[in-house]
């Protein structure tokens, strides 16, 4: 079962390693991870995508809450939320195919951010499924390199994830 | 204005630290001067970094105050890992200060270098690197607070050598409060849940308190006894919870679990409402979560939310310190007329059932014993003699193995914090250094280390520390010439040659201990045992370390509950 954790934690050396250690100790793989400081630069926000049963994720969440450096956690799959991921893809684009690839890129509302005589680098933003859909449409044979940022998530509505007592 | 090393020492003094267990080396050399000049802190020089951690651990268990360790880098740091993990598993507040040779930014490959923060990460509650001397007071204060509050645990502080070698002076400013936005341990339980808990207890027919180590760590023993007496509730404990209520109290059913008492295991199998206090429902205590206390609803009080519903689903969870929750329960119970009115006849038929088990059990008390006319000393004899001699008031440390369980089963602790045993990690070599730590914390008290010959060999170097500081601990070594617990399982599984050659390679323990300058005796018969015990606790030996090599019956087995017919599950009905 997909789990998407949004974690606020201290922006300091070693704090991320403690968070990730809890997943490694339980042999839970992390599918994607995106982390950067928030508007308050003493704090970082991490969005972590993993696949695990609800009991395991509950235990991990409780242990994450125990970490001194972790300030707040929300499992976004339990609330209305928006997910986005950024992807950069370098594709082979030669001859007549250049037009077709450009059209596909437009359909997916991608932007071409770098061009050479035989490649395009496409930037795409959206839910992960859309990004994967684009890769499928382009076809594996044309893909030279893929970079994905990992999923970012935020709750819908006016309520914001900010400092306050820790939630489970 | 103070230099960095002086700032560190002053910060430790300000946190009330009185002892530091210390193993020296190049990387902690820079603050040695300030420490030796400090009159408030006694520096205890140990023989092994692991010994230092176990001493600090024993010190902390006996007092509730943090045990502080100071080590050097490299092997000094890595040798402490077992001790830190042991404290982590049993929720013991220790603070480990580790020197480091490099400047702090990178892990180089200098002599004696290791990434202590990384190596210790999975077994600490929290860890700090001290980047600059300015941060020392705040970090020392935070470290002590984190170690001792909430669910206690070990904290590591990495001290880069470069910060202490400079002659620069700093203004000493200790912050007034600790401010950690990511760490706010629960201060009390949910009032509505606590009220529901009392209602449930009053409605139940066969309630049982299951007290764990959290009652000890949380200093909640007197609140527990008040509550149990007020409602007339039987109390079973986990291994770590022994001493939560006095072992000789009629409400106390002893320890439950794999090696638990029949009465406790029967009670948990038949209860309809278990009030679990500060316990994590360890596998050795509960066996199979599916069949554990099958008829019972479970109320679980714990300061650590991650312990609740981990293995046993709580029907009524209460996150909070056991002491506060019990105080509120006591208050609520006081205000209820129905509680006060029929105090002694509450749960009458349940108590009849429990007393029935107690009766039956006293008939076959020596269930584990071989022939009572045997000339061999049975481990239970030793525990019994020691109990009679010390009246349940000694501080007892143990290692791991048969001896540990025999003490847990047979020694009725009169109070909490007197039972010092490595429960979670099962650390052989804990008992001797832990006893030293306890004796430093409680110089006037009787401190006994009960060990096995195999466990004793793991950390016996601390006998030398014992000689240096004249610690009058009494060591009773259950010598069966074999790794008893392992050997009995070898036999049960039919692996006859598992420990070939082992018994023949054991040293002469009396000579060995005498070489350290201590008094050592051997007891091979019951009479010799009695004489050795009276001598060990006599006025003559009041200020001496005494070691007794007790030759116990090598054929004694310690049967687990199933083979004794006292499982915690429903199947134990057969043994009623």
Name the closest residue on chain A to residue B126, using Cα atoms: A68
Residue B303's pLDDT is 97
B560 vs B442, residue with greater confidence? B442
Percentage of residues in chain B having pLDDT higher than 70:
91
Calculate ∠ Cα B484-B487-B492, nearest 5°: 125
Whether residue B533 is contained in a domain is answered as yes
Name the closest residue on chain A to residue B128, using Cα atoms: A14
Residues of B with Cβ-Cβ distance to A26 under 8 angstroms? none
**Cβ(B121)–Cβ(B154) below 8 Å:** no
Interface contact flag, A21 B122, Cβ < 8 Å: yes
Residues of A with Cβ-Cβ distance to B180 under 8 angstroms? 68
Q: How many C-beta atoms surround the C-beta of residue B179 within 10 A?
A: 9
Q: Does residue B364 carry a pLDDT above 80?
A: no
B22 with B83, same domain?
A: yes
Residue B576's pLDDT is 37
Mean per-residue pLDDT for B385-404? 96
Q: Does residue B571 carry a pLDDT above 50?
A: no
B255 with B386, same domain?
A: no
Interface contact flag, A68 B122, Cβ < 8 Å: no
- The average confidence (pLDDT) of chain B is 90
Query: pLDDT band at B409, cuts 50/70/90?
Result: very high
Residue B549's pLDDT is 97
Q: How far apart are the first and last CA of chain B?
A: 72
Q: Is A166 on the interface with B (CB under 8 A)?
A: yes
Q: Does residue B495 carry a pLDDT above 80?
A: no
User: Which three-class secondary structure state does DSSP give residue B533?
Assistant: helix
Encode pLDDT of B157-174 as tens digits.
Answer: 998 887 777 788 999 999
What's the CATH number where B342 sits? 3.40.50.1220
Domain boundary residue, one of B314, B342, B363: B363
B236 with B142, same domain?
A: no
**Cβ(B213)–Cβ(B423) below 8 Å:** yes
Nearest to B420 by CA among B412, B431, B409: B431
Instruction: Give the mutation candidate from A68, A72, A168 for the B interface (greatest B CB count, under 10 A).
Output: A68
* Residue B464, domain extent: 365-551
Domain boundary residue, one of B363, B395, B425: B363
Pairing of strands A111-115, A30-37: unpaired
B515, two tokens: 């070489």
Q: CA-to-CA distance for B513 and B47, rounded, in angstroms?
A: 16
A129, two tokens: 């499924």
Q: Give B425 to chain A, closest Cα distance, Å.
A: 17
B395 with B528, same domain?
A: yes
B347 with B369, same domain?
A: no
Q: Does residue A164 carry a pLDDT above 70?
A: no
Domain boundary residue, one of B363, B388, B403: B363
Whether residue B178 is contained in a domain is answered as no
Q: Give B181 to chain A, closest Cα distance, Å.
A: 6
Q: In B238-314, which residue ranges form alpha helices assigned H by DSSP?
A: 262-270, 283-286
**C-alpha dist (Å) from residue A79 to A6, A154, B46, B133:** 11, 10, 55, 45
Calculate ∠ Cα A84-A88-A93, nearest 5°: 135
**Range scoring the smallest mean pLDDT among A5-9, B35-39, B447-451:** B35-39
Residues of B with Cβ-Cβ distance to A71 under 8 angstroms? 181-182
B564 vs B421, residue with greater confidence? B421
Interface of B with A in 116-155 (CB under 8 A): 117-118, 121-122, 125-127, 129, 146, 151
Residues of B with Cβ-Cβ distance to A17 under 8 angstroms? 118, 121
Give me the DSSP letters along B441-505.
H-TTS-EEEEEEHHHHTTSTTHHHHHHHTT---EEEEEE-SS-HHHHHHHHHTT-TTTTTTTGGG
Encode pLDDT of B215-239 as tens digits.
Answer: 999 999 999 999 999 999 999 999 9
Residue B100's pLDDT is 84
Q: Is A56 on the interface with B (CB under 8 A)?
A: no
Name the closest residue on chain A to residue B122, using Cα atoms: A21
Residue B31's pLDDT is 80
Encode pLDDT of B246-263 as tens digits.
Answer: 999 999 999 999 888 889
**Cβ(A75)–Cβ(A5) below 8 Å:** yes
Distant-in-sequence, close-in-space partners of B282: CB < 8 Å, separation ≥ 6: B238, B239, B257, B423, B424
**C-alpha dist (Å) from residue A55 to A26, A75, B203, B309, B367:** 12, 13, 31, 10, 41
Query: pLDDT band at B295, cuts 50/70/90?
Result: confident
Query: pLDDT band at B293, cuts 50/70/90?
Result: confident
B219 with B268, same domain?
A: yes
B417 vs B258, residue with greater confidence? B417
Residue B370's pLDDT is 46
Domains, in order of start, for chain A = 2-79 (3.30.70.260), 82-152 (3.30.70.1150)
Mean per-residue pLDDT for A65-77? 95
Residue B373's pLDDT is 63
Whether residue B195 is contained in a domain is answered as yes
Whether residue B139 is contained in a domain is answered as yes
Q: CA-to-CA distance for B392 and B197, rounded, in angstroms?
A: 33
Nearest to B40 by CA among B79, B68, B10, B65: B10
Q: How many C-beta atoms surround the C-beta of residue B352 within 10 A?
A: 9
Q: How many C-beta atoms surround the C-beta of residue B566 within 10 A?
A: 24
B375 with B487, same domain?
A: yes
Q: Give B71 to chain A, closest Cα distance, Å.
A: 21
Q: Is A70 on the interface with B (CB under 8 A)?
A: yes
How far from the centroid of its chain's Cα atoms is residue B398's Cα? 9
Interface contact flag, B129 A9, Cβ < 8 Å: no
What Rg do the C-alpha atoms of chain A give, in angstroms? 19
Q: Give B221 to chain A, closest Cα distance, Å.
A: 25
Name the closest residue on chain A to residue B153, using Cα atoms: A66
**Tokens 């070691």 sit at which residue?**
B547
**Cβ(B264)–Cβ(B575) below 8 Å:** no
Whether residue B28 is contained in a domain is answered as yes
B388 with B413, same domain?
A: yes
Distant-in-sequence, close-in-space partners of B565: CB < 8 Å, separation ≥ 6: B262, B572, B574, B575
Whether residue B231 is contained in a domain is answered as yes
**Cβ(A27)–Cβ(A54) below 8 Å:** no
B346 with B369, same domain?
A: no
Interface contact flag, A59 B129, Cβ < 8 Å: no
Q: Where does B50-168 show beta strands of DSSP type E?
A: 67-71, 94-100, 126-129, 155-160
What's the CATH number where B37 sits? 3.40.50.970
Residue B573's pLDDT is 42
Q: CA-to-CA distance for B91 and B401, rounded, in angstroms?
A: 21
Residue B33's pLDDT is 85
B90 with B224, same domain?
A: no
Domains: count for chain B: 3
B392 with B528, same domain?
A: yes
Whether residue B275 is contained in a domain is answered as yes
Q: CA-to-CA distance for B23 and B532, rounded, in angstroms?
A: 34
E strand or H helix that includes residue A25: helix A15-25
How far from the centroid of its chain's Cα atoms is residue B92's Cα? 8
Q: Does residue B108 carry a pLDDT above 60?
A: no
B318 with B400, same domain?
A: no
Q: How many C-beta atoms surround the C-beta of residue B568 within 10 A?
A: 26
B84, two tokens: 């830190």
**C-alpha dist (Å) from residue B205 to A154, B198, B202, B232, B255:** 49, 13, 8, 12, 22
ipTM comes to 0.89
Residue B412's pLDDT is 96
Q: CA-to-CA distance for B67 and A42, rounded, in angstroms?
A: 32
Shortest CB distance from A17 goes to which of B121, B184, B305?
B121
Q: CA-to-CA distance for B308 and B279, rounded, in angstroms?
A: 9
Encode pLDDT of B457-468 as tens digits.
Answer: 999 999 999 999
Whether residue B568 is contained in a domain is answered as no
How far from the centroid of its chain's Cα atoms is residue B258's Cα? 18
Query: pLDDT band at B264, cuts 50/70/90?
Result: very high
Give me the DSSP letters along A128-141.
HHHHHHHHHHH-GG
Q: Does residue A3 carry a pLDDT above 90?
A: yes
Residue B289's pLDDT is 85
**Cβ(A73)–Cβ(B324) below 8 Å:** no
Mean per-residue pLDDT for B340-345? 69
B27, two tokens: 């990387």
Q: Does residue B366 carry a pLDDT above 70?
A: no
Residues in chain A, how many?
Answer: 168
Q: Is A23 on the interface with B (CB under 8 A)?
A: no
**Range scoring the smallest mean pLDDT among B70-84, B97-111, B302-316:** B97-111
Q: CA-to-CA distance for B339 and B122, rounded, in angstroms?
A: 46
Q: CA-to-CA distance for B443 and B514, rounded, in angstroms?
A: 23
Residue B497's pLDDT is 62
Shortest CB distance from B305 goes to which of A17, A163, A168?
A168
Q: Give B30 to chain A, closest Cα distance, Å.
A: 25
Residue B290's pLDDT is 83
Shortest CB distance from A67 goes to which of B151, B182, B310?
B182
């Amino acid at each position: 079962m997909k789990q998407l954790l949004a974690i606020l934690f201290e922006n300091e050396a070693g704090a991320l390693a403690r968070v990730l250690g809890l997943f490694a100790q339980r042999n839970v793989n992390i599918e994607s991870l995106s982390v950067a400081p928030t508007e308050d630069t003493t704090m970082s926000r991490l969005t972590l995508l993993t696949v695990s049963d609800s009991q395991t994720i509950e235990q991990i969440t409780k242990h994450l809450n125990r970490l001194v450096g972790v300030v707040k956690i929300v499992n976004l799959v339990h609330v209305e939320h928006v997910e986005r991921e950024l992807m950069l893809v370098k594709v082979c684009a030669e001859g007549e195919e250049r037009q077709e690839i450009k059209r596909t890129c437009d359909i997916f509302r991608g932007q071409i951010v770098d061009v050479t005589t035989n490649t395009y680098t496409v930037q795409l933003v959206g839910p992960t499924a859309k990004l994967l859909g684009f890769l499928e449409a382009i076809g594996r044979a044309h893909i030279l390199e893929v970079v994905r940022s990992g999923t970012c998530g935020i709750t819908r509505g006016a309520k914001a994830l900010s400092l306050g007592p820790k939630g489970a | 204005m103070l230099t960095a090393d002086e700032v560190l020492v002053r910060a430790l003094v300000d946190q009330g630290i009185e002892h530091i267990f210390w193993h020296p080396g190049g990387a902690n050399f820079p603050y040695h001067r300030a420490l030796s000049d400090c009159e408030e802190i006694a520096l205890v020089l140990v023989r092994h970094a692991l010994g230092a951690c176990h001493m600090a651990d024993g010190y902390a268990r006996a007092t509730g105050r943090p045990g502080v360790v100071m080590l050097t880098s490299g092997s000094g740091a890595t040798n402490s890992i077992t001790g830190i993990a042991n404290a982590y598993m049993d929720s013991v507040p220790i603070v480990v200060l580790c020197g480091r040779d490099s400047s702090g930014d990178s892990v180089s490959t200098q002599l004696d270098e290791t990434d202590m923060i990384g190596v210790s990460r999975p077994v600490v509650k929290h860890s700090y690197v001290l980047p600059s001397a300015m941060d020392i007071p705040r970090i020392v204060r935070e470290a002590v607070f984190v170690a001792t509050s909430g669910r206690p645990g070990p904290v590591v502080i990495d001290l880069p050598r470069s910060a202490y070698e400079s002659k620069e002076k700093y203004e000493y400013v200790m912050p007034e409060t600790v401010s950690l936005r990511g760490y706010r341990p629960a201060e009390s339980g949910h009032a509505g849940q606590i009220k529901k808990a009392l209602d449930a207890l009053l409605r139940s027919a066969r309630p049982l308190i299951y007290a764990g180590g959290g009652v000890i760590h949380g200093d909640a023993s007197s609140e527990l006894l008040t509550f149990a007496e007020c409602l007339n509730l039987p109390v079973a404990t986990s291994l770590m919870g022994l001493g939560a209520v006095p072992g000789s109290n009629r409400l106390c059913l002893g320890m439950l679990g794999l090696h638990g008492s029949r009465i406790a295991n029967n009670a948990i199998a038949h209860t309809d409402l278990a009030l679990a206090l500060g316990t994590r429902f360890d596998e050795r205590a509960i066996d199979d979560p599916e069949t554990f206390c099958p008829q019972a609803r479970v109320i679980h009080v714990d300061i650590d939310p991650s312990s609740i519903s981990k293995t046993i689903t709580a029907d009524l969870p209460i996150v909070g310190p056991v002491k506060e929750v019990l105080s509120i329960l006591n208050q609520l119970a006081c205000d209820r007329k129905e509680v006060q009115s029929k105090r002694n006849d509450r749960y009458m038929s349940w108590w009849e059932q429990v007393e029935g088990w107690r009766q039956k059990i006293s008939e076959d008390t020596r269930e584990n014993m071989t022939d009572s006319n045997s000339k061999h000393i049975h481990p239970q004899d030793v525990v019994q003699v020691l109990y009679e001699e010390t009246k349940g008031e000694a501080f007892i440390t143990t290692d791991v193995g048969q001896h540990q369980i025999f003490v847990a089963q047979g020694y009725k602790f009169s109070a909490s914090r007197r039972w010092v045993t490595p429960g979670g990690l099962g650390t052989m070599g804990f008992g001797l250094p832990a006893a030293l730590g306890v004796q430093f914390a409680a110089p006037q008290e009787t401190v006994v280390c009960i060990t096995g010959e195999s466990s004793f060999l793991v950390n016996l170097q601390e006998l030398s520390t014992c000689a240096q500081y004249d610690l009058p601990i009494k060591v009773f070594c259950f010598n069966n010439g074999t790794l008893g617990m392992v050997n009995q399982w070898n036999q049960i599984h039919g692996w006859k040659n598992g420990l070939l050659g082992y018994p023949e390679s054991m040293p002469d323990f009396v000579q060995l201990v005498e070489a350290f300058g201590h008094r050592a005796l051997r007891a091979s018969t019951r009479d010799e045992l009695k004489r050795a015990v009276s001598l060990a606790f006599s006025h003559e030996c009041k200020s001496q370390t005494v070691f007794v090599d007790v030759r116990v019956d090598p054929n004694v087995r310690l049967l687990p509950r199933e083979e004794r017919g006292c499982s915690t599950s429903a199947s134990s009905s057969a043994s009623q």
